[in-house]
Structure 1
Amino acid sequence: MQLFITLPYPASDLSGKTIIVTGSNVGLGLEAARHFTRLNADKVILGVRNLEKGETAKKSIEETTNRLGVVEVWQLDLASYESTKQFVKRAEGLRRLDAVVENAGIATMQYQVAEDNESTITTNVVSTYLLALMILPKLRETATKFNTTPHLTIVCSEVHAFTSFPEKNSPNIFKTLSDKETANMADRYRVSKLLEVFYTRELAARVKRSGKPEVIINYLNPGLCHSGLAREAGWRLAIIKFLFARTTEHGSRTLVHAAEAGPESHGQYLSSCSVSDPSPLVRSEEGAKAQKQVWDELSQKLENVQPGIMTNV
């Protein structure tokens, strides 16, 4: 039970490194960015939707770490493919890029459309991997130029295990998820996290076989933490969080750990700063079939959004 687990306090030296943390103006992302800055990173980029809130976060980090000129605030709205593309294009101009922590996400009970999907799927899944695959060449460039092993880390959740994922039986999973008439929004966040698990596992396996410069790709569960993500979830979760949730800082240690973890973490699910097993569904034959379908469908969507992107794998 997470209540009785003390996570290691980040203490490594990140001198010279450049790190991107998305969704970092509040919550886990903010506290992870604070750790990276404290640990002497050369540059920490906050990828945020709201620049004003991002500047407030930057000021907070500077005041608590006494490090000026390290944190930068960049615009990133994962509900927009164009915003995601522009963010990556800006990142391509960096001297180096050592880690990308994809923490941004939404949890909503309201059905609304962003781009060509329900907004949770666009934000948590499609744009998350649009960014990941577009930025892979920059990470590999850093690996070659600086003789290092960069990280691409996806912030997932243990709730990926709490859905039966009925959409897996659909001939087209993403089309079904976009159907307003059948959308189960109470289950949508859990499904989005399961889709992240499937795609990250497949991506890591294919990258490993590519023969290209090594990038460690992993995905993590920060546990139940105090954050603003589930503010629509109601009073029951609020009570559970009051009793059992990790502090935001404590939970953020899992993000820092994943962004520094060794090659044994490649393709792995990290929970409480250790390699763990994902859900039984993920590890089953049924899960393997669903993973392949998710890979094929999402890869085609990404290719439509950014032609040629799959050659980056």
Structure 2
Amino acid sequence: MPSSIIGILFSQLFTSVPKPTDSYAGKTVIVTGSNIGLGLEAARHFTRLSAAKVILAVRSINKGEEAKRDIEKTTGVKNVVEVWQLDMSSYQSVLDFVTRAEKELERLDIALLNAGISAGKFEIFEKDESTITVNVVSTFLLAFALLPKLKATSVKFNTRPNLTITASEVHFATQFKEKDVPEGQIFAKLNEPTNDMQERYFVSKMMEVLVIRAMADQKSASQIPITINCVNPGYCKSAIARNSGFAVKLAQTLIQPIFARTTEEGSRTLVHAASQGAESHGQYMSNCEVAPVAPLVTSAVGYKTQNRVWAELSNKLEVIKPGVTSNL
């Protein structure tokens, strides 16, 4: 794995990712953040490949309906895509979404948690900085809350569902300085105002990788009938930086034409990761294969940090929905 972001960008110029060809006949798929970008293209692949139900979990119903029409037009497939509301900046919206899934879905085979933000300014959502709320707390609240439906699907249909979170190679670019604060204070430190929102995004992606590994530590592939992993789509043309600051947008304008994959190419990696078996449990997927994580993650300090993040996040989730972490 290249040791720098520039190295990673160069490497993906010479790596092609295969177009998905698996059949998803009979399967129900949830894709969050799916009205645009990687999520939209992933949902299009699942629809094209015969999924029985594809749920676009989106903040704006109107934009979701536009995405639905676009998928139906390009695939020729009707009566498969549904648009459900999900606002990741609101814990209640997350819980309402899960309640609906429990009531209305007979099965859930794939939960592709792709929604995320790269904020351009510091602000608070649900008592935490917005990037941490959306990319970390709400993402794992949704993940844990969906586990019972995924487990029930495994038992009822003799299958192994997938829970996949869209992470990023930018976790290589942070040393996660908040790890050095006193015990129990990582989230509190992340709540202190900062002007470096790019670094905050990098940290949120580091935290996703750490928590996925912690979940696999708690329940190995043989101890849970669900594959839980995370995926790096590579550097892609996407709308993730639409709310970022001027410097990030300028860099995107200059670099994207040279290095970026198309959104559709990037979405292939999401579909691949969300289709893998037990061998990918707890793993970081990149270029459609299990890949190494940043050296910090596998260091002794990284493992200690992983456990600290896990403990703090678990406590936070239990306050939001008591008992939710026991779903693992």
Amino acid paired to 2:204: S
Q: Deviations over 1:172-201 (max 9, x none)?
A: 100000112x56423100000000011111
Structure 1 window deviating more from structure 2 (223-232 vs 277-286): it is: 223-232
CA distance in 1, matches of 2:212, 2:284: 10
Match of residue 178 from structure 2: 167
Matched, 1:54 2:69: no
Q: Deviations over 1:29-61 (max 9, x none)?
A: 000000000000000000000110000000000
Distance 1:101 1:201, change over 3 A: same
Match of residue 281 from structure 2: 266
CA distance in 2, matches of 1:102, 1:48: 11
* 1:25 aligned residue (32, 35, 38): 35
In the superposition, the TM-score normalised over structure 1's length comes to 0.97
Per-residue deviation at 1:209? 7.3
Per-residue deviation at 1:83? 0.2
Query: Aligned ranges for residues 60-71 of structure 1 at < 5 Å?
Result: 60-71=70-81
* 1:279 aligned residue (268, 272, 294): 294
CA distance in 2, matches of 1:108, 1:262: 33
Matched, 1:109 2:120: yes
CA distance in 2, matches of 1:281, 1:131: 27
Match of residue 188 from structure 1: 200
Per-residue deviation at 1:4? 1.6
CA distance in 1, matches of 2:323, 2:188: 22
CA distance in 1, matches of 2:275, 2:300: 31
CA distance in 2, matches of 1:89, 1:210: 28
Query: Aligned ranges for residues 102-251 of structure 1 at < 5 Å?
Result: 102-171=113-182, 172-180=185-193, 182=194, 184-208=196-220, 211-212=223-224, 214-231=225-242, 232=244, 233-251=248-266
- Tell me, which stretches of 5 or more residues in structure 1 are unaligned? none
- Is this contact kept in 1: 2:118–2:197, CA < 8 A? no
CA distance in 2, matches of 1:197, 1:296: 15
Matched, 1:300 2:315: yes
Q: Deviations over 1:184-224 (max 9, x none)?
A: 42310000000001111101221227844x10001010000
CA distance in 1, matches of 2:45, 2:325: 33
Matched position secondary structure for 1:260: coil
- Is this contact kept in 1: 2:154–2:160, CA < 8 A? yes
Per-residue deviation at 1:109? 2.3
- Is this contact kept in 2: 1:88–1:131, CA < 8 A? yes
CA distance in 1, matches of 2:196, 2:321: 29
Q: Figure out how many residues of one structure are paired with residues of the other and give that number.
A: 311
Q: Deviations over 1:248-291 (max 9, x none)?
A: 00000001001111211111110000101100000100100100
Distance 1:186 1:14, change over 3 A: closer
Matched position secondary structure for 1:92: helix
Matched, 1:75 2:85: yes
- Report percent identity of matched pairs: 55
Matched position secondary structure for 1:44: strand
Amino acid paired to 2:78: L
Matched position secondary structure for 2:78: coil
Per-residue deviation at 1:147? 0.2
CA distance in 2, matches of 1:298, 1:209: 22
CA distance in 2, matches of 1:38, 1:280: 38
Matched, 1:100 2:108: no
- Is this contact kept in 2: 1:177–1:183, CA < 8 A? no
* 1:256 aligned residue (271, 276, 301): 271
CA distance in 1, matches of 2:28, 2:278: 19
Amino acid paired to 1:75: Q
In the superposition, the TM-score normalised over structure 2's length comes to 0.93
Amino acid paired to 1:222: P
Amino acid paired to 1:215: I
- Is this contact kept in 2: 1:98–1:149, CA < 8 A? yes
Q: Deviations over 1:134-162 (max 9, x none)?
A: 10010000000000000000000000110
Distance 1:32 1:209, change over 3 A: closer
Q: Deviations over 1:14-39 (max 9, x none)?
A: 10000000000000000000000000
- Is this contact kept in 1: 2:221–2:278, CA < 8 A? no
Match of residue 6 from structure 2: none
* 1:43 aligned residue (53, 59, 76): 53
